[in-house]
A and B are shown apart, each in its own frame.
Chain A
Amino acid sequence: MEATAATAHEPQRRTEGIYVYCIIECAEPRRFGRIGIGGRGDEVYTVHHRELAAVVSRSELQVYDPTRENALTHEHVNEVVMVDNAFTPVPMSFGTLFKTEEDIVEFLKDTYDALRDVLKKMKDKLEFGLKVNWDRDSVLADLEREYEEIRRLKAQIETDRASSTYFARMQLGRLVEQALAAKSESLVREIYETLSEAALASRANKVIGDRMIMNAAFLVERGKAELFDRKIQEIGRRYEGRLQFRYTGPWPPYNFVTIRLQLQPTAGV
């Protein structure tokens, strides 16, 4: 709204472009509804080259900020394509626009082999996310029970208030840190091991904040999604009360497709 106020009287038309959500294998034109990005209700449709199709909608040619609405719209289109229509999308990163449909066809032509290869490998596979948080305080209490050395140092610091306990405190801190890291590592390893039977691949992302011990994505065959779910429930029961899980999906395989393309002008352009 506020952005248009300044330009409302400009006679020139805004430049139109085409926003790309994902690439699918699909030879026939498809429509996915008026769910396009930009808030104008643009139809989401396909642009084709041989058996590949880009899922796109018309849009103003502009830089899209990853606002809540824009990011969720991008993802929603991918989900409609993947969940409601059972395609396997290779997702485009947020904010990719081309100027014309012809440009998209050129893009599909130039990357045809790579895209086809990735689509083949991703066919009928889904991504699930799993973030695991622990409660540091209750873990610390566990560690105190498990490690005699921690109890001993703690007792020493408590009884020895008068004298300097600097060294003992340092030692305790280092010990607790090591014990926490070892604990987190072994929990994460157990979780991966339990899930590996149901997943084809996993990717560990950076953990966010100091409560999180695992931030992973799993690639799962559509037919094994139920098994994967059962394994997640098994883990949930095993660590109930000690770990918190955030389990999400299905997602398009964002974490398992990384294609960086570099555009360059051809001679003669």
Chain B
Amino acid sequence: MAVVERSPGGTSLIDVLDRVLDKGIIIDAWVRVSLVGIDLITVEARVVVASIDTYLRYADALGLTPGRATQGTLGAGAGSIDGVTSRSRATERA
């Protein structure tokens, strides 16, 4: 019998929040977008920014400070990829 039981991923909210909120692929857009004006990109950006604000409040409540831990990746292609552009046909409203 196992001495240490393994819980499947999605069974504990705290373990899930620990991962899904500030890890993985993060679209980091607010800095530029505030200058852009009204188009699709601002919509996307608002979505992202707002959810992160919410997270900060949430994290405080849970006693989790969202420590911007330095990532110890495999030296994978992780890291920031600047200048990714998002062209969007849907925005061509002008």
Interface residues of A (CB under 8 A from B): 17, 22-23, 61-66, 68, 71-72, 74-76, 78-79, 90-100, 102-103, 106-107, 110-111, 113-114, 117-118, 121-122, 128-129, 200-206, 208-209, 219, 229, 232-233, 235-237, 240, 245-252, 254-266, 269
Contact = CB atoms under 8 A, between A and B. Distances in A.
A155 B27 CA distance: 59
Contact of B76 (A75, A118, A236): A118
Given A100-B90, A247-B7, A269-B87, A263 B23 contact: no
Contacts, number: 258
Contact of B16 (A71, A110, A122, A257): A71
Given A65-B51, A259-B25, A117 B86 contact: no
Interface in B17-47: 17-29, 31-33, 36, 39-41, 43-47
A256 to B, nearest CB: 5
Contact of A262 (B3, B4, B83): B83
Interface in B36-90: 36, 39-41, 43-48, 50-52, 54-55, 58, 63-65, 67, 69, 71-74, 76-90
A264 B78 contact: no
22 contacts: A61-B43, A66-B20, A71-B17, A75-B20, A91-B19, A93-B21, A99-B40, A106-B86, A110-B86, A118-B76, A201-B74, A219-B74, A249-B8, A254-B23, A255-B19, A257-B24, A259-B77, A262-B27, A263-B41, A265-B36, A269-B87, A269-B92
Nearest to B4: A236
B54 to A, nearest CB: 5
Interface of B: 2-13, 15-29, 31-33, 36, 39-41, 43-48, 50-52, 54-55, 58, 63-65, 67, 69, 71-74, 76-92
- Which 9 pairs show the lowest CB-CB distances between chains A and B? A236-B3, A95-B51, A117-B77, A236-B4, A91-B24, A254-B19, A254-B23, A94-B20, A263-B29
Nearest to B88: A103
A266 B87 contact: yes
A96 B54 CA distance: 14
Contacts of B48: 95-96
